[in-house]
Chains A and B, each alone.
Chain A
Amino acid sequence: MRKKTVGKHIFTDVQLELKLLYRSISFWVLAVIWFVLLTLFIISVPSAWRTGNAFTTSGWVTQAMITGGIFLGIIRSSTERKEYCEEIYYTVYNAALFRYVSKIIVIFIMGIFILISGSITVFLSFFLHDVVGAYYLPSMAYIALYWVIPFAISGIMGLFLGVAATTKAVYPLAFMLSIALGPLVPKLAEPLMLGGGGILSQYYNMFNIGQMDPSSMISESYGYCLNTELWIVRLCILSGAVILFVNRAVVEKRKKILKISLILISLILIASGYIGANCIFKIQYNKCQDAELIAYYRENPEPEFSEVNDDNVYEIEGYDIILDDGLSFEISADIEVNIWNASKPMVFTLFHGFVINECNIDGHECEYETQGDALIIHNKGSYTGDHVLHLTYKGCPPLNLYKASDKWVLPGIFAWIPVEYVGKALEAETMATALFNYPAGKKDTLFKLKYLGKNDVFCSLNRINKNYWEGISSGITICSGWFDEKDEDGISVIYPILYPENVGQAVNLMQNLNSSVPIIYKEMLGETVDVSAKKIFVFPSILQNNLGEGIYILNDHVILCIYMDNGGYLIEEADGVPLLVTILKTDGWDDSDYYFKQIFEYMYLDNLISRGVSKSKQGLSFESIIDYIGNDKKSLAEAAVRAYQFQKSLDTEEQVAFFKRFLNLLNKGISSKESVAALESIIG
């Protein structure tokens, strides 16, 4: 048959199908439902905590799309059988095939209609509510991935069910299928996940064509979950459904599946299964993985090395790093080391989630072992002097640092490259207190970084060309996601695109830090510090996902992980507890009693504010913390009040000495039982 004739046939069939569609009651019922859903959704946009949350929690719209699609499909494909004209099409050359193809096309046309009408309405609503421009296109993509594609998949599955099943039992079956495919699945699977059946629920979730977690909030750093892999998996499922339905048209009434269909469907299942296993499992079950991670750190105390305390084994003089991203990271690190002591192994900190593939010194293989986050390189070749340690490793960073192949953050405060041993990469007593161990090398080193991926990334080093950076720093921060970069007052701010106002706020915050941080360093650590960073990274959502609040000051950049208010406002006077914790924290800090730490943090902050050093307006007052502690540990609260009154009676110099004593105790690790006596001892 000539192409022109085929085109004419399909066009005529699509016209007929559309004519039948708009003359059917079911279409108008579904159209009314769609506009009601859209209206309800639009109403929910301004009341959502953040605009994007209206979308991320729109599982109910998706479920309606899936259920509506599957029933529409059944109704459309069973029409010929119900109207007794099915056999006619089987006796006209290619007529049945064209009918089937036209039905698929009409489902796609309806999908496009949903996309266009939905997008226009949403854009109008955004415009009226003055929503930031960065939301527009991703929201359209969200509608396509979470509303339209599920509708199309379920519509075509419905078409197949409509021709394959001839009894009314198809309707309850379709309803059950729509639930199984829908975003309610994770909710149903949650008990399984909590009961340790995480793996099972992950497999279960692979069939979910809606939101993986319909109650999750939008991430300011990563935006909507629009991973390329999710698109691929869903388009694979869609293709599989189309092949299954077209197969039915080709084999006509014979209940068999053609070899070619079988091969194609098998390939699609394998491809989507592989991608699903690597993507959906990894991304959507952070909770599960996070819980495992926390358990890991609680159950595996830091290994004890005699070598660790020996600073005279080696020194890092430079890094040459090649980074490739994807479903996991592949990193190659050439580390220039100056080895002083050949009799002892070199110990580094590298997050244990990375698996070492290669390890050699100057091209000669060398023995290594890992104990948790400790990477121990045995110097069997008795090398001394300058050498190049070459490592390649593969893996994913933990917690919320990785969301998708194009959404990740590798901060300089996390051991994603081997650094001189500083203990564990994370301190994770509980989910709520998982903190980076701030392992970035304390001294400045020359870094060279080459990025092989395809994403637009932002790096703390100086850009030499598109994907190559160099710089002297104490750590590298690199990220990909919903970020943008803007210069203001000579400072480059990498900020979440949803909150462009963060640029000015971050710069103001830095000005406040400029006045407080050097004083804190000098008073407590006896060090001088330059806070005139040229780059600021604003990572609010990393904070939201249990990585702990903090202001991390590296040599050439600052990472702001601080709370934002509901409107995305970055508090400019946030130089409070987060700052103190990240500056003053040492190894013993984590072993100290939680209340004891809080007493120090809030009492010292109170002192800094009263002296005009800090402008912090963030968080609770010292009094409210004491009230809170008093509910649990009255004696500790009373001792804290005495200590507070005592330091108030001192002059500034004595106050500083008081807090230095307090900090020294804290960094030794004061247990809960020792805390009252420790406070009394500071008062003397």
Chain B
Amino acid sequence: MNIDNLCKNYGKLKALDHICIENIKGVHGLVGENGAGKTTLMRIIATVLDKDDGQIIHGDLSWNDTAKVRRIIGYLPQKFGMYHKLTVREVLEHMAILKEVNRDIRSETDKVISLVNLEDKAEAKVGSLSGGMVRRLGIAQAILGDPEILIVDEPTSGLDPEERMRFRLLLRDIGADRTVLFSTHIIDDAEDICDRVTVLHKGHVMMTGTCDEIIKNAKGKVWEIAAPDPQVGDKLKNIITTDRKKSGKGYIVRALSEDQPCSDAKSVEPSLEEGYLYLIHREEIYA
């Protein structure tokens, strides 16, 4: 899938400004702070929103042909719910019919229920499920009918660590044989799941690449400073503090800086999060 010069405005606000992402395949992450445009982009790809300009292409298929696109996508929105009064199976059987699942509907729903590990809740009402289970139900309905492209908008936010872990594994499994477009503001999730990542910032694409490529961007820009004062980063110019740990009587502070911020700062290997932060704060660091 390729996204070319995609634009979306909300009045005067440019939510997406000429977004270009090429060769989206496997599990592709969209990372960015709140308001970066991730959800807008996901909703456009999911055909919920209209684009103002630009193209989205998947093979020969253009996103201008909404009807065909809808036959090849599965979508889990950021805020997902289902009728509280229906059971998990009722919801999925209904969705299977709507998605024109040609195979035996009962076995198809059983398959996805098993995949998301909701077998013991198949006859339970949606209203009785936990938040994580509802997200898993969301994934189950999204993958019904084996869509070529799965769009998952911040599925792990708000989940407890165990559910998050379970979700990561699930998405990794699902992404093995289809394109999964996955947005998150939790960098660990992206690092754990995604083959490639696009960093969005204020409606612009900062970079698209593998996790290593993003990390590579910040190589030589991450510094570790040992100081008795935890606020040391704030006192130095043109640096962005990325981490701060207590060490003995003092602190170890990690920071992003174009140059060595102080004489006792030593260069260290960047993490994906620091690579991401470097991309979105590059201008501040240069200033």
Contact = CB atoms under 8 A, between A and B. Distances in A.
Interface of A: 5, 8-9, 12-13, 16, 19-20, 23-24, 79, 83-85, 87-95, 98, 252-254
Given A9-B98, A12-B97, A19-B90, A91 B47 contact: yes
Nearest to B98: A95
Contact of A12 (B82, B86, B98): B98
Interface stretch (B11-19, B67-75, B202-210): B67-75
Contacts of B71: 93
Interface residues of B, number: 29
Contacts of A98: 98
Given A89-B98, A92-B98, 18 more contacts: A8-B97, A16-B90, A23-B86, A83-B81, A83-B83, A83-B84, A85-B80, A85-B82, A87-B46, A87-B75, A88-B75, A90-B46, A91-B47, A93-B70, A94-B67, A252-B48, A253-B48, A254-B50
Contacts of A83: 81-84
Contacts of A13: 94, 98
A376 to B, nearest CB: 71
Contact of A84 (B48, B80, B86): B80
Best-surrounded residue of A9, A12, A79, A91 (most CB of chain B within 10 A): A91
A79 B67 CA distance: 25
Contact of B79 (A16, A20, A84, A94): A84
Given A9-B97, A12-B98, A84 B81 contact: yes
A19 B81 contact: no
Contacts of A90: 46-48
B83 to A, nearest CB: 5
B1 interface: no
B165 interface: no
Contacts of B75: 87-88, 91
A89 B75 CA distance: 10
Given A16-B94, A254-B50, A92 B99 contact: yes
A289 B92 CA distance: 62
Nearest to B49: A253
Given A91-B48, A93-B67, A12 B141 contact: no
Contacts of A253: 48-49
Contacts of A20: 83, 85-86
Contacts, number: 72
Contacts of B261: none
A87 B48 CA distance: 7
A85 B47 contact: no
Contacts of B47: 90-91
Contacts of B8: none
Contacts of A9: 97-98
Contacts of A252: 48
Chain B at the A interface: mostly helix, strand, loop or mixed? loop
A4 B227 CA distance: 74
A546 B100 CA distance: 67
Nearest to A16: B94
Contact of B43 (A12, A23, A87): A87
A508 to B, nearest CB: 66
Contacts of A88: 75, 77, 80, 95, 141
Nearest to A24: B85
A302 to B, nearest CB: 73
A16 B90 CA distance: 9
Given A8-B97, A98-B98, A91 B81 contact: no
A87 B100 CA distance: 18
Given A12-B97, A98-B98, A254-B50, A85 B85 contact: no
A98 B70 CA distance: 15
18 contacts: A13-B94, A16-B86, A16-B94, A19-B90, A23-B85, A83-B84, A84-B79, A84-B80, A85-B80, A87-B75, A88-B75, A88-B77, A90-B46, A90-B47, A93-B70, A95-B98, A252-B48, A253-B48
B46 A91 contact: yes
Nearest to A2: B100
Contacts of B67: 93-94
B151 to A, nearest CB: 8
Contacts of B83: 20, 79, 83, 85
A92 B71 CA distance: 7
A647 B46 CA distance: 102
Best-surrounded residue of A84, A92, A98 (most CB of chain B within 10 A): A92
A90 B46 CA distance: 9
Contacts of B85: 19-20, 23-24
Nearest to A80: B83
Nearest to B46: A91
Contacts of B77: 84, 87-88
A85 B80 CA distance: 6
Nearest to B79: A84
Interface in B69-123: 70-71, 73, 75, 77, 79-86, 90, 94-95, 97-100
Contacts of B141: 88
7 nearest A-B pairs in the assembled complex, by CB-CB distance: A84-B81, A23-B85, A93-B70, A91-B75, A95-B98, A87-B77, A12-B97
A532 to B, nearest CB: 75
A87 B138 CA distance: 12
A23 B127 CA distance: 13
A12 B94 contact: yes
A5 B90 contact: no
A13 B83 CA distance: 13
B136 to A, nearest CB: 15
A218 to B, nearest CB: 44
Nearest to A254: B50
Contacts of B81: 83-85
A8 B94 CA distance: 11
Contact of A19 (B50, B84, B86): B86
A554 to B, nearest CB: 70
Interface in B33-51: 43, 46-50
Contacts of B100: 5, 93
A16 B73 CA distance: 23
Contacts of A95: 98
Interface in B134-160: 141, 151
Contacts of A79: 83
B77 to A, nearest CB: 5
A19 B93 CA distance: 14
Contacts of B43: 87
Nearest to B126: A83
A83 B75 CA distance: 16
Best-surrounded residue of B71, B80, B85, B99 (most CB of chain A within 10 A): B85
A90 B48 CA distance: 6
A521 to B, nearest CB: 80
Interface string B235-253: 0000000000000000000
Nearest to B134: A84
B90 A91 contact: no
A259 B12 CA distance: 27
A254 B151 CA distance: 21
B247 to A, nearest CB: 45
Interface in B182-223: none
A8 B93 CA distance: 13
A16 B83 CA distance: 10
B276 to A, nearest CB: 27
A24 to B, nearest CB: 7
Contacts of B84: 83
A12 B98 CA distance: 8
A103 to B, nearest CB: 13
A12 B86 CA distance: 14
